Amino acid sequence: MVRDWAAVFDLDTDAEDFSEHLDREWFRGRPYRHLPEARHGVERGTAIFDDAVVRGYPSIPRALVLEAAVKARFEGPVAVEEKLDGYNVRIARIDGDLLALTRSGFVCPYTTAKVAELLDLDGFFADYPEQMLCGELIGPENPYTEHDYPEVEEAAFYVFDVRHRETGDPMAVPRRRECCAEYGLDAVGHYGTFAPEAAAEAAIETVRDLDALGREGVVLKSVDGERALKYTTSAVHRSDLEHAFALPFDYGRDFLFTRVMREAFQTVEFDESPEEARERARKLGEAILLPAVETVRAVEADEAVGDTHTVRADPAVVEALLSYFRDKGLKLAVERDEREGDQRVVEFTKIARSTQDKTAYFLEGGTVDE
Amino acid sequence: MVRDWAAVFDLDTDAEDFSEHLDREWFRGRPYRHLPEARHGVERGTAIFDDAVVRGYPSIPRALVLEAAVKARFEGPVAVEEKLDGYNVRIARIDGDLLALTRSGFVCPYTTAKVAELLDLDGFFADYPEQMLCGELIGPENPYTEHDYPEVEEAAFYVFDVRHRETGDPMAVPRRRECCAEYGLDAVGHYGTFAPEAAAEAAIETVRDLDALGREGVVLKSVDGERALKYTTSAVHRSDLEHAFALPFDYGRDFLFTRVMREAFQTVEFDESPEEARERARKLGEAILLPAVETVRAVEADEAVGDTHTVRADPAVVEALLSYFRDKGLKLAVERDEREGDQRVVEFTKIARSTQDKTAYFLEGGTVDE
């Protein structure tokens, strides 16, 4: 059966035109298609497996001034929950197969193996076959991100949403939290549910606490799960910048302006004194410049520069992951490749070619017209 | 007579196609055309008055690592001169009329009046009718820039190049300097002419001195004037950022990344200690964040934000200038408008609409998808 995708997705174009935006991939020999960027009103990351759909996770609007944004966005009670700094994963079960999709709709072989190893999902999917679990994969051992959490040694999955796999409709917050408790799933931290007038202040207090712990921030949600808003700490703005400016010609330009402006509005909303603002500015400057200096020196010393990750899984899973990266054109430098029991542990660097090449160009006397 | 523009400019297209990129303007009732962006191998700012051409001033390549760039770019003696922080002006005489063109090829009525008032150019143009004077207009009283120099009370013009008006061919550096002396024209500072092996070190010493004085930087030139290279101080990187982040949504994004990278390469080339690099990073952070915070607070307090300038000239000239800005769609707020003798003195702010509107949007609870 071929479904009428224009009707399923309520497209503003015909199904053929929509299909041209889909990338084709394979998972364990089975083809599927996914939408790496939002198109025609369909969320980025939406994936299609024969007749089955896994809807993309919606982009959550970001507040720069929290109190005003809460007032503009919410009319009823607001749940305040933690936003974790890892990568967004949707877990669905299709034809009995557990699949873990990254934000772009790619079925990651590593993440799929990892969630199967970490979680017992039979009970949940037996009772909720049409739902998907949406959560953050965090911890040091993963191929995408690198934020450390003291409570996670290797990797862990925290649920922040349960949504209908095909429509994307969210489960209400209280029911979702009960559901996590019932099936033994870790849920993101919940700081309470507040009247809209009180939610911003509560969230700001939480953000101050999370900032002191070096954690990312909060997501505010209407209790029906339909409306959401995110807001982040100075600590994560700086750590984003440190990461971006370690590889400035790969990430620097996009990251920089947005984080600076988040900091500027936060300084004003937090009503900081001149001394506090100056201290924030100095830390910001250090987060930007010092990693870039270190990278220029590393390239000068002929060292490889890039993002380094460690993965640990069944050898076939690790091989599938590394093949995927190489097929995508990434250049990988393997720093460590060992067996621990029946698992393969690989530490590898995704070489940041733009940073490597452009930095070398300038070190060799290259000029720029600006 | 209509000239064959394809031959005059050695175009890689036909004259008709080229002409489409030209903007039409009027100066004292006389029409002319100019090229606001480089096209088909012709420099930005090239202007055409009937049959006469004023060639655009070429873009000078920037070094991020001075020693390597000097080695790559120069084979013979290198003159080291000061780069001033004002605006680039070309002065030409066409059919007896003195015209002062800004970088984009616009004949600025204010700058034209100002250079006529400041300079006696009859001798120079009598002897060099086919040449144009290229220099920097600096000082606090001008409609475009705002860097202060202790030696300039209102406005001054410093020559850094003499070029053939139509071909753009430069005069050799020694002859140009003699020429300035002969006709009583101020010339940019000259720190000596060096063998290429010694030029970078000399230039870096000069840059350190200029940095301590808060001045912009240096231009290195082959003595024939054909090859050039620019390199700037940390002080001007910071003052650029302070200016840009006072109006972040108008200027911030473009300025930010480039200045940060100039700072990173300079830290490495200047071989700074961890403490020096940290101090540089902190000052950088202050230059970025604090002006943005101040602007968010100003918008919150309903103050107008923008670039403020003061101009002083004959009332008709001031009126022509302000009309030009308004015709271009700029919103001006006049802070002061007085007569001093036969001159009109106007202090005005070019309202930064993007900064004003976007800042207000976020203060009112607007969100962003990022």
Query: In Å, how far is A9's CA from the nearest CA of chain B?
Result: 21
Strands A47-49 and A30-34, sheet pairing? antiparallel
Contact between chains at B292 and A70 (C-beta distance less than 8 A): no
Output the CATH code of domain B17-232.
3.30.470.30
SS3 state of residue B34: strand
pLDDT digits (tens, 9 = 90+) for A244-258: 999 999 987 878 999
- Whether A281 sits inside 8 A of B288 (CB atoms) is yes
Quick count: other Cβ atoms within 10 Å of Cβ B26? 10
Q: Tens digits of per-residue pLDDT, B107-127?
A: 999 999 999 999 999 999 999
Q: Which chain A residues are closer than 8 Å to B287 by Cβ?
A: 285
| Nearest CA among B352, B349, B328 for reference residue B251 | B352
Q: What is the pLDDT of residue B1?
A: 54
Lowest mean pLDDT among A227-241, B16-30, B190-204: B16-30
Mean pLDDT, residues A30-35 taken together: 95
* A118 burial via Cβ count (<10 Å: 0-12, 13-18, 19+): middle
Count Cβ atoms below 10 Å from residue A144 Cβ, excluding itself: 18
Coil, helix or strand at residue B39: strand
B contacts of A369 (beta carbons < 8 Å): 59, 61-62
Whether pLDDT at B26 is above 60: yes
Q: What percent of chain B has pLDDT over 70?
A: 100
- Decide if B64 and A253 are in contact by the 8 Å CB cutoff: no
| Strand ranges across the sheet with B87-94 | B97-101, B87-94, B131-138, B156-164
Does position B254 have pLDDT exceeding 90, yes or no?
no
Question: Hey, are the CB atoms on A296 and B229 less than 8 Å from each other?
Answer: no
Query: What is the distance between the alpha carbons of residues A318 and A156, in angstroms, rounded to a whole number?
Result: 18
Contact B281 A260 (CB under 8 A): no
Residue of B nearest to A63 (CA): B367
pLDDT of A1 higher than 70? no
Mean pLDDT of B301-307: 95
Yes or no: say if A60 and A52 are a contact pair by the CB < 8 Å rule.
no
Closest chain B residue by Cα to residue A58 = B369
pLDDT at A229: 98
Put simply, the answer to whether A365 touches B62 (Cβ < 8 Å) is: no
- Nearest-CA residue of chain B relative to A66? B365
Confidence of residue B354 (pLDDT cuts 50, 70, 90): very high
| Residue B63 pLDDT > 60 | yes
Give B117→chain A minimum CA distance, Å: 32
Average pLDDT, chain B: 95
Tokens of B110: 């204010």
pLDDT more than 90, % of chain A: 92
- What single-letter DSSP state applies at residue B224? T
Q: Mark yes or no for CB contact A62/B256 under 8 Å.
A: no
CATH number (1.20.58.2250, 3.30.360.10, 1.10.10.10, 3.40.50.300) of B234-300 reads 1.20.58.2250
* pTM summary value: 0.94
Q: What is the pLDDT of residue B146?
A: 85
Q: Please compute the mean of the pLDDT values over residues B338-361 and round it to a whole number.
A: 96
- Is the model's pLDDT at A2 over the cut of 80? no
Residue-wise pLDDT tens digits, B319-332: 999 999 999 999 99
Q: Which of A6-15, A345-354, B97-106, B256-265 has the lowest mean pLDDT?
A: A6-15
Q: Which of A64, A278, A290 comes nearest B278 by C-beta? A: A290
Sign of CA dihedral B333, B338, B340, B344: positive
Selected residue of A74, A263, A361, A370 to mutate for chain B interface (largest B Cβ count, 10 A): A370
Question: pLDDT > 90: what percent of chain B?
Answer: 92
Rounded to an integer, the average pLDDT of A301-322 is 95
